[in-house]
A and B are shown apart, each in its own frame.
Chain A
Amino acid sequence: MHISDWFSRKPKYAVLKPEKKEIPEGLWTRCPKCLEILYNKELERNLKVCSRCGYHFKLGAWERIYQIVDNHEFSELDENLESVDALPFNDGIYLDKLKESKEKTGLNEAIVTGKGKVESFDVFLGVFDFGFIGGSMASVVGEKVTRLFEYGARDRLPVIIVTATGGARMYEGMLSLMQMAKTNAALSRYRRSGGLFISVLSDPSTAGVMASFASQGDVIIAEPGALIGFAGPRVIEQTIKQKLPEGFQSSEFVFQHGMVDIVVERSKLKSTIGRIIRIWNKRLKG
């Protein structure tokens, strides 16, 4: 589907909405790290990276997709999957939460998956949106990720997933936790098909999603300054009863500890992905 289709059919998806929490409407945005006042148009042109200090603002799912795919062309898949209050969780709290997140993000769920091209290579791409219940994984997210690996195996194409997530979604209880098993089971099969899975970790990438497919990429790329880990820093501080050192669980920290392959700034993300696919594509056939 071309981007123009989105304007006519689903305007709520086509508009690149700035995240309200990070970037208030208007002409200017203050960088939360260096406090520089940034002109919004300039910030957009700079892929939402602060031109002064290099702070990487969080991106909405569609913003990220359009930064990665060629010519803004992307066919969304499985957009018709809808979350339900399966447990149900304590008198409709979850349904309220879903409604609120849909209105806030214009998305149906915490991940958008589909097919597009990156530097002319066909890929299956999934992108989390932290604005949707903290980018959490429950039945629908787990199913979409699982199908993405299945499509990748079927069509022998790379799978790229960009995470921005706080982990498994508690409102679906154990159904959410088991998505860690389901996605990893699918990833195991995808791997055996010889597939290339690039896991891109953006801010933040933690807990249940990290403890499943996101930490198991053939290549793991982190954006600078992202929070990456298993437990959240507050939980760790409460457990060990001391303050964590500056930069603990940052991309640079996990890189130093051997948990990611490359820390790549946003302007080089697409070309880095393209280069890896180019090499994978030149594999021996058979």
Chain B
Amino acid sequence: MEQEIKGLTPWEKVQVSRHPQRPLTIDYIENLFEDFVELHGDRLYGDDPALIGGIGIFKGQGVVIIGHNKGKNVKENVSRNFGMPHPEGYRKALRLMRLAERWHLPVISFIDTPGAYPGIGAEERGQAEAIGRNILEAFEIRSPIIVVVIGEGGSGGALGIGVGDRILMLENAIYSVISPEGCAAIIWKDSKQAERAASALKLTAQDLLRFNIIDEIIPEPPGGAHNDINATIKAVEESIARNLEIICNKDIDSLLEERYQKVRKIGIFEENLVPKAGVEPARSPSST
């Protein structure tokens, strides 16, 4: 209810997050980084245009940049597979995160994907393995990582480059375990119930801040990022800069410990502490 008064409804946010004029990873790269050098390929099979990677300079600091990238028009969208990576995209991202670690560069990751691509080649080459490995190894990367959810955070395909020390999210971006359409099709056997699913799933930045899944909401211009692209990019720049300074000043071991502990606490359940013979005592609940 509060949301309807304050701003857009969850379903409206879904629309805004997918708006064709919404700034893409490439727009942030062009505006925020000097001397960007795009780096290609996973060294195993191919290069994935749905996931951009490279190196550049952010306010004087060398960084590694990775991000899903949709296209600006139909043709570009087709060549970039609508921002839906194959395993090669995730493996390229991991390769660059390892590079960041060796060079002592922070990583900045931009999330904007409907999801990892569900296709024949993707399955043959281990989509699940690629995403799973990235998620696991991200907890071992000895470099600061900032994640910015700029548009659509589509499930595992987003999380594949979504583990980090700070998770920032644009005000009208979404991040969800399943698309509202997919959820509606399963529960109500009707994808037209997507609006209902969008509010049920709690996929807005405001919801995710409440669940401690993200750290900060970056404000958007009235009506959404597409209404003032420059203002949006400025707001993202300010938030990255501020958070980067904090995490880059931490000792890397404590940063890794914090990265772990934050995720370790996610989850809501009840734990009845009834002592039982023959069973090791359960620990106190890690969450509410």
Residues of A within 8 A of B (CB): 1, 5, 75-84, 86-87, 89-90, 93, 115, 139-140, 142-143, 146-147, 151, 168-170, 172-182, 184-189, 206-208, 210-216, 229-232, 235-236, 239-240, 244, 248-249, 257-259
Contact = CB atoms under 8 A, between A and B. Distances in A.
B200 A179 contact: no
Counting from the closest, the 9 A-B pairs by CB-CB distance are: A231-B118, A139-B267, A90-B200, A210-B128, A86-B268, A230-B127, A230-B128, A211-B131, A215-B132
A177 B201 CA distance: 11
Contacts of B200: 87, 89-90, 93, 173
Nearest to B123: A229
Contacts of A244: 120
Nearest to B129: A215
Nearest to A245: B120
Q: How large is the interface on B (under 10, 10 to 19, 20 to 34, 35 or more residues)?
A: 35 or more
B40 interface: no
A1 B267 contact: no
B271 A216 contact: no
Nearest to A229: B123
Contacts of A214: 128, 132
Nearest to B265: A182
Residue of A182, A213, A236, A249 contacting most chain B CB atoms (<10 Å)? A182
B118 A175 contact: no
B103 interface: no
Interface in B111-166: 116-120, 122-129, 131-133, 135-137, 139-140, 155-156, 159-160, 162-163
Contacts of B60: none
A82 B272 CA distance: 8
Nearest to B187: A93
Contacts, number: 207
B176 interface: yes
Contact of B271 (A82, A176, A181): A82
Contacts of B178: 168, 170
Given A180-B156, A184-B132, A236-B118, A170 B186 contact: yes
A185 B139 contact: yes
A257 B270 contact: no
B280 interface: yes
Interface string B200-219: 11110001100101000000
Interface in B241-286: 259-260, 263-264, 266-274, 278-280, 282-283, 286
Contact of B270 (A84, A168, A173): A84
Contacts of B283: 147
Contacts of B123: 229-231, 236, 248-249
Contact of A177 (B118, B177, B287): B177
B132 A177 contact: no
A230 B131 contact: yes
Contacts of B286: 143
B118 A82 contact: no
B268 A139 contact: yes
B64 interface: no
Given A84-B269, A170-B186, A231-B123, A216 B211 contact: no
A175 B266 contact: yes
Task: Label chain A's interface by main secondary structure.
Answer: helix
A140 B136 contact: no
Interface in B80-96: none
11 contacts: A82-B272, A143-B269, A173-B207, A174-B208, A174-B213, A179-B267, A180-B135, A185-B136, A213-B132, A229-B128, A231-B122
Given A186-B264, A259-B126, 18 more contacts: A80-B282, A81-B269, A84-B268, A170-B201, A172-B177, A173-B201, A173-B202, A173-B207, A174-B201, A174-B211, A175-B211, A177-B155, A178-B213, A182-B263, A187-B136, A188-B140, A212-B132, A231-B119
Nearest to B274: A80
A180 B213 CA distance: 13
Contact of B139 (A184, A210, A249): A184
B133 A181 contact: no
B132 A210 contact: yes
B1 to A, nearest CB: 14
Given A179-B266, A186-B264, A188-B140, A173 B203 contact: yes
Residue of A1, A80, A142, A187 contacting most chain B CB atoms (<10 Å)? A80
Contacts of B176: 173-174, 177
Nearest to A259: B126
B58 interface: no
A81 B118 CA distance: 34
A80 B187 contact: no
Given A173-B201, A213-B132, A231-B123, A78 B270 contact: no
A220 B79 CA distance: 35
A178 B269 contact: no
Contacts of B270: 81-82, 84
Contacts of B129: 215-216, 259
Contacts of B117: 239
B175 interface: yes
